[in-house]
Structure 1
Amino acid sequence: MRLIIAWCSCLVFFFLLPARHIASGAVHNITTSEPLFQNQTLVSSGQIFELGFFTPNGSENQYVGIWYKNLTPSKTVWVANRDSPLTSADRSAKLAIGSDGNLKLVDGQQNIVWSTNVSVQSNNTAAMLSDGGKFVLQERNSTEVWASFDDPTDTILPNMKIGLNKRTGERRVLVSWKNDNDPSSGNFATGITSETPPQLFSWNGSTPYWRSGPWDKSTFIGVPEMESSYYNGYSLQHDPQQGTAYFSADSDNNSFLAYGFISPEGVLALMLWYYGSNGWSKNWAAPSTGCDIYGTCGPFGICNSKNSPICRCVKGFMPQSKEEWNRRNWTRGCIRETELNCQKNTSRSPSTQMKKDVFVHTKQMKVPDSAAYLSDPGDVGKCQSWCMNNCSCLAYSYVQTIGCLVWAKDLMDFQEFSTAGQDVYIRIAHDNTGMSTEAKLIISISTILGIMFVGTAIFGLWKWRASKRDITDKRGEMSFGNAWKDQLKQNDASQFKLFSFSSLILATNNFDATNKLGQGGFGPVYKGMLNDGKEIAVKRLSSSSGQGMDEFKNEIILISKLQHRNLVRLMGCCVEGEEKILVYEYLSNKSLDSFLFDSKRKAELNWDARFHIIQGIASGLLYLHRDSYLRVIHRDLKASNILLDEKMNPRISDFGLARIFEGTQVLLNTHKVVGTIGYMSPEYVMGGIFSEKSDVYGFGVLLLEIVAGKKNTSLYYRGQHFNLLSYAWQLWSEDRGPDLRDEAIVNTCPPSEAMRCIQVGLLCVQDQMTDRPNMLSVVRMLSGESDLHQPRPPTFTFQRGNPSHNNEAQGESIFSVNTMTNSVVEGR
């Protein structure tokens, strides 16, 4: 539920690892005869979670809680006695099972501070902690009688539910800590509403603070990021007859850990810890803008965070208080300019026909709060007809995945999105101006004449300017204009900067050859330094490169939205005249191919470094395919597009050829096949079809290259093989896989690990894309978490030939150079 947002500055990113007493040992369950003392912790079987006594930094109080065991910074996910703390001076407290079978936290005076307080059939119970973070009290027959998941604090974990049962009065909500060092109940709470369809809601005390919009059977429609998220284990079990609604985020994705929490400042956030990463990353948070805060623009006010001011009235409405509106206090909202015709109580004669009201169409909206759901929605036409024939109906929206929503109350918390959103139709009077027909006619004629005059003036000005400038790009590729730059700002690229050409000339010493880092297919890359001392990498696209304006804009918009430790960070761009320049973070070790295919430098990459690079690339691809805000196919994965930082961490770069997949789309077809020979999958080369499995193929080639230290398009084995893939298959099928290892890593790469990597690589380069694993399976196979299937011979890559005598005598020679991206036209 894979997520790109402007974050609220008050969000607390991490909780510090709580200070705890030094444990003399870990236990795996609590029984009637074995309580948990302060010098012990209860640990889950997989060493993921830990339960014990802790004292927050700067506090004199002591609590029992659950936290991630081996992650730094850690996160406390549950607190038993959050509102009944022990004193830190109490050294005799313990967590024990009492004579009635209940878990009890008792202080040094044997007073009960906290208890599970449930009905237990027998006193023969035990408590244990699961790898999912669930603390369970169960009877000896494994019957669960109590669980921490039923009594949450501020955090929701995968497979944990929050919600309500109207019949029993049960209500599970997340309640924030009071502050970062005080886990007692704070001001903010998050839960599920009882309406149909339900919403996820946050409150500040009893005041609404944020809401998600209605649930549409798969997502909350007021959270556009959910539609493209691949952290997609969301579910909401709603039974109106039983009065129950429970929301959970279930996950079987072993590539990351996840939790959601409500911060002391009221920010609801989803945090992820990716496989191979070294810290928590924010996947999503709300509220993230002023428009996300409930009722910012008041009744009948529309909020758009991209506008200034952010609030405006619905058409047909005006500010209730112009003075307050001018002071940017919009909370009182808007009122109608003209009373609805259906509500007028006039003494018209029966022969006088009253005009009907009309509906104003608003697009890409977060639907307002307090919607009523029609149980027999019909279609959009029936929805409109029902609303038109009921004067109390002030607005309607037909959501395909929900049905007909109508509003009889003031439209509150109305927000306009830049993408996604719903169509909402708002009722206004037909005659909304209150002017006479003559006045309307005069205004209409004046407006038309004014438009004609202005249009003529603008056209004349444009012609004059066009005659004065030299149009160097006939296709208009370089005419960015302010509109395109504004588009960048609207794509949540908060750290993105538009550089001037003069500043980049200064930074690179006029693109001096001594600063040149390399030459790619799209142009040279230079090292530079900004005025603040920050080092940058500047890619200057040459006019003869194959990368046009579409690819250039594609790379900018894509990378500015993608945030992952294994993806290169784009800092900004420059577009002036004929210049198209991309500015990246500078990575001191340049690209992977500069080590891997260099006979002198490859020894710097021992097996541990190479396997770390393999895992990092896999993690980055998994993020692109499944976990990012956008679902992205890279299409040009190769060694020269893998950059390395100072710690040899890999960063996937060059997104000029990348494409976005929408929704559940699996395949795309292109009329122009682009990529690099040796890395492109068979179905892409032969038929122009690409998918996630196209990237998997490229990853398989790259994986084998990293093991072998040779390019795929080099000659191997005395000319019997034209590429690395067929050679790797022969060695693996003959149980000689370790012979593929680069000589530089023979002493550091265990044969078993080499065989596993080669087998994964061969599975990735299968001819049929259905035979290739997805990147989640690849990550699991590399880490040993899942078994490996037997690959089939990659027949597409068996290109045997009869090279010249000279080549055969050399034993190995370069067949082609694959550092440049090539285009092959005429794909179907």
Structure 2
Amino acid sequence: MSSTIKNINPMTKSHPHMLSSPTETASFCETMRASTKHQFCSSILCLTLLTFFPLATSKDTLSSAQSLQNNQTLVSSGGVFELGLFKPGATSGWYLGIWYKNIQEKTVVWVANRDKPISNSSSATLKIGDHGNLVLLDGENGTWSSNETQARNPIVQLLDSGNLVLRDGNLNRNGPKDQFLWQSFDYPTDTLLPDMKLGWNLSSNLDRYITSWKSTEDPSTGDISFKLDYRGFPEIFLRKNQNITYRSGPWNGERFSGVPEMTPSDGIQFNFVANSEEVYYSFSVRSNSESFYSRLIVNPNGELQRLTWIESRNIWNKFWYAPKDQCDDYSECGPYGICDSNASPVCKCLKGFEPKNLQTWDLRDGSDGCVRKTRLECSKDKFLALGNMKLAESGGAFVDMNMSLEACKKKCLENCSCTAYSDARISVGEGSGCVMWTGDLLDMRQYAEGGQHFYVRLAASELGTFCYKTREKMERIEIERKLIWEIGESLLLSLLCIISHTFLSSYITIIRMWAPHPIIHSIIYNTPPWRPQMIWNMSR
């Protein structure tokens, strides 16, 4: 390899006879060997140099014979990311981190020793330990380390993805990811990068989630986390300590049901995987631009942000964020309450329900939610179809990805504890899969556009003829409503035209009748009505 570790050998700058590359080393050795007078000395010197210069054979990797000191860095092969020590803001400690190499304002995406800073950078050393793991030392004391491995030839490498990996040097450098002995992508801090997984490896019980910095200048573990819950119908929760502040809604095949604006763009592709081995969310960058950077972060203020780099302006643009309004706050309207940010007040009860605490409800505090007006009768019950919905919290939901929506409805009706159902995927034809809820329905929201259909169980007497049994009927009603509205608009416009024409015709008729009158004449022709009389008086 021809590249070198940045600043790996400060001696080369101060000593005029130190060689700066392996090529120069080999050339020097050949010259020395050509002189029989110094043959023995040259052999010893060449052996010494060739033993020393493996330290400078690669700038993106570190072998077991190498170490990284305080003023040295690793740079990924494409120059995208850099790893080294940094000191944020006014803090006194030093941290091992990864940041974007070509962005002037240092943007850190990963921190190794976030809760145990090094007091003096000159005593810091990064190396591969005796147990095949990556070790960060503060003098002689260990500050941070990765998992131990059994690799005979472990190598550390910083990839252009921002992933710091520990791999077996005897295997292919560009081998599959499952050959990594350890990777920083499995232990994120506050940032989710492209192709990084947020979620669970069920085989190893590894939970990958992001946690905020304590403050903008303190990278230690903060109070805000964004973490996937794989129980029931998986979804992701934003928490402050242990309290839920925001919920993404479950993945419906196209997006999270609580993020209707989450549509694939020209540059970003969203992915969700759920199988017996792992459950995770990730995103990929599809842009051809090498400087198109996107990242998802949680900040110390409790906000989840998607940021994209605008190179022409040298800024991180806030592409999306949450929570963004009152209805994004978790369970704003309580059990069986629906939040609508376009309404005032934002909370309303489902049809067939009424506020549990009318006094607080009237004060616009909907956290107590709603209760049923009429008891259910199991097999006689009906379902209320709601559109553009963020599905209720689904951690305890029953999920069958192979069941049809009609079979799902039947199964829910047969289970007297079932309170609602929906399709699991909206991206396959007209929907497929089955999700059933058996407890209180929490954190529901209705959008002007987006979301999905949601079917809530009600007593038949509460529905009357309002019940739409199928999605097709519901969509037909929506089409009929739009058609009626369009016809109404056309009739109203026609009526206005007729009224306007009638009024204008009457106005013209009146003008013509009264035109000889001096006042009307003056209005029409903009002349003083009494001017002729005034002239006549002056002439007398």
| TM-score, normalisation: structure 2 | 0.69
2:380 partner SS:
coil
Equivalent residue number for residue 250 of structure 1: 284
CA contact (8 A) 1:73 1:279 kept: no
Does 1:391 find its partner at 2:391? no
User: 1: distance between equivalents of 2:287 and 2:167?
Assistant: 27
1:62 pairs with 87, 94, 99, which one?
A: 94
Equivalent residue number for residue 166 of structure 2: 137
CA contact (8 A) 1:316 1:337 kept: yes
After superposition, residues 210-359 of structure 1 pair within 5 angstroms as 210-240=246-276, 242=277, 244-255=278-289, 256-274=292-310, 276-342=312-378, 356-359=380-383
Deviation per residue, 1:406-462 (Å, 9 max, x gap) = 1111111101111111111211223349xxxxxxxxxxxxxxxxxxxxxxxxx99x9
Does 1:99 find its partner at 2:138? no
User: 2: distance between equivalents of 1:298 and 1:471?
Assistant: 54
After superposition, residues 366-445 of structure 1 pair within 5 angstroms as 366-370=390-394, 372-375=397-400, 378-398=403-423, 399-400=425-426, 401=428, 402-432=432-462
Residue 167 of structure 1 deviates from its aligned partner by 4.5
Equivalent residue number for residue 81 of structure 1: 113
CA contact (8 A) 1:377 1:383 kept: no
2:213 partner SS:
strand
Equivalent residue number for residue 781 of structure 1: none
User: 2: distance between equivalents of 1:181 and 1:428?
Assistant: 52
CA gap of 1:318–1:69, structure 2 versus 1, over 3 A, is same
1:359 maps to amino acid: F
Residue 115 of structure 1 deviates from its aligned partner by 0.5
2:351 partner SS:
coil
User: 2: distance between equivalents of 1:195 and 1:230?
Assistant: 32
Residue 72 of structure 1 deviates from its aligned partner by 3.5
2:263 maps to amino acid: E
User: 2: distance between equivalents of 1:62 and 1:374?
Assistant: 47
Does 1:149 find its partner at 2:178? no
Residue 174 of structure 1 deviates from its aligned partner by 0.8
Residue 467 of structure 1 deviates from its aligned partner by 4.7
Equivalent residue number for residue 195 of structure 2: 159
CA gap of 1:228–1:471, structure 2 versus 1, over 3 A, is farther
2:224 maps to amino acid: F
User: 2: distance between equivalents of 1:413 and 1:229?
Assistant: 28
Equivalent residue number for residue 566 of structure 1: none
User: 2: distance between equivalents of 1:94 and 1:422?
Assistant: 53
Deviation per residue, 1:227-251 (Å, 9 max, x gap) = 35344422222113x4x21222123
User: 2: distance between equivalents of 1:120 and 1:162?
Assistant: 27
CA gap of 1:102–1:228, structure 2 versus 1, over 3 A, is closer
CA contact (8 A) 2:267 2:286 kept: no
Residue 204 of structure 1 deviates from its aligned partner by 2.1
Deviation per residue, 1:308-338 (Å, 9 max, x gap) = 2111111111111112112222211111122
Task: Quote the RMSD (CA, aligned, Å).
Answer: 3.0
User: 2: distance between equivalents of 1:37 and 1:374?
Assistant: 52
CA contact (8 A) 1:194 1:245 kept: yes
CA gap of 1:466–1:264, structure 2 versus 1, over 3 A, is farther
After superposition, residues 101-120 of structure 1 pair within 5 angstroms as 101-108=132-139, 110-120=140-150
CA contact (8 A) 2:266 2:286 kept: no
1:237 maps to amino acid: V
CA contact (8 A) 2:264 2:270 kept: no
Deviation per residue, 1:345-370 (Å, 9 max, x gap) = xxxxxxxxxx9222222111011112
CA gap of 1:381–1:35, structure 2 versus 1, over 3 A, is same
2:293 partner SS:
strand
CA contact (8 A) 1:197 1:216 kept: no
Equivalent residue number for residue 33 of structure 1: 65
Q: From the CA coordinates, give the structure whose radius of gyration is larger.
A: 2
Deviation per residue, 1:487-522 (Å, 9 max, x gap) = xxxxxxxxxxxxxxxxxxxxxxxxxxxxxxxxxxxx
Which segments of 5 or more consecutive residues in structure 2 lack a partner in the other structure? Answer: 1-6, 14-55, 172-178, 464-490, 505-540
1:266 partner SS:
coil
CA gap of 1:377–1:35, structure 2 versus 1, over 3 A, is closer
- Paired-residue identity, %: 38
Residue 382 of structure 1 deviates from its aligned partner by 2.4
After superposition, residues 730-741 of structure 1 pair within 5 angstroms as none
Deviation per residue, 1:270-326 (Å, 9 max, x gap) = 111256452221222121112112211111110111222111111111111112112
CA gap of 1:238–1:374, structure 2 versus 1, over 3 A, is closer
Equivalent residue number for residue 155 of structure 2: 126
Equivalent residue number for residue 517 of structure 2: none
CA contact (8 A) 2:400 2:435 kept: no
User: 2: distance between equivalents of 1:72 and 1:305?
Assistant: 39
Which segments of 5 or more consecutive residues in structure 1 lack a partner in the other structure? Answer: 1-20, 343-354, 434-458, 473-828
User: 1: distance between equivalents of 2:258 and 2:118?
Assistant: 42
After superposition, residues 452-467 of structure 1 pair within 5 angstroms as 467=499
2:406 maps to amino acid: G
CA gap of 1:374–1:51, structure 2 versus 1, over 3 A, is closer
CA gap of 1:313–1:185, structure 2 versus 1, over 3 A, is same
1:192 partner SS:
strand
CA contact (8 A) 1:202 1:209 kept: yes
2:162 maps to amino acid: G
CA contact (8 A) 1:162 1:172 kept: yes
1:202 partner SS:
strand
CA contact (8 A) 1:177 1:186 kept: yes
2:285 maps to amino acid: S
2:384 pairs with 352, 360, 372, which one?
A: 360
Equivalent residue number for residue 46 of structure 1: 78
CA gap of 1:135–1:431, structure 2 versus 1, over 3 A, is same
1:307 partner SS:
coil
CA contact (8 A) 1:211 1:294 kept: yes
Equivalent residue number for residue 179 of structure 1: 215
2:279 maps to amino acid: A
After superposition, residues 759-778 of structure 1 pair within 5 angstroms as none
CA gap of 1:196–1:254, structure 2 versus 1, over 3 A, is farther
| TM-score, normalisation: structure 1 | 0.46
Residue 465 of structure 1 deviates from its aligned partner by 12
Equivalent residue number for residue 194 of structure 1: 230
User: 2: distance between equivalents of 1:379 and 1:245?
Assistant: 23
Aligned residues: 409
CA gap of 1:230–1:405, structure 2 versus 1, over 3 A, is farther
User: 1: distance between equivalents of 2:78 and 2:230?
Assistant: 37
CA gap of 1:177–1:469, structure 2 versus 1, over 3 A, is farther
CA gap of 1:380–1:217, structure 2 versus 1, over 3 A, is closer
1:132 partner SS:
coil
After superposition, residues 670-749 of structure 1 pair within 5 angstroms as none
User: 2: distance between equivalents of 1:471 and 1:361?
Assistant: 47
1:280 partner SS:
strand
2:422 maps to amino acid: S
User: 2: distance between equivalents of 1:95 and 1:153?
Assistant: 19
1:210 partner SS:
strand
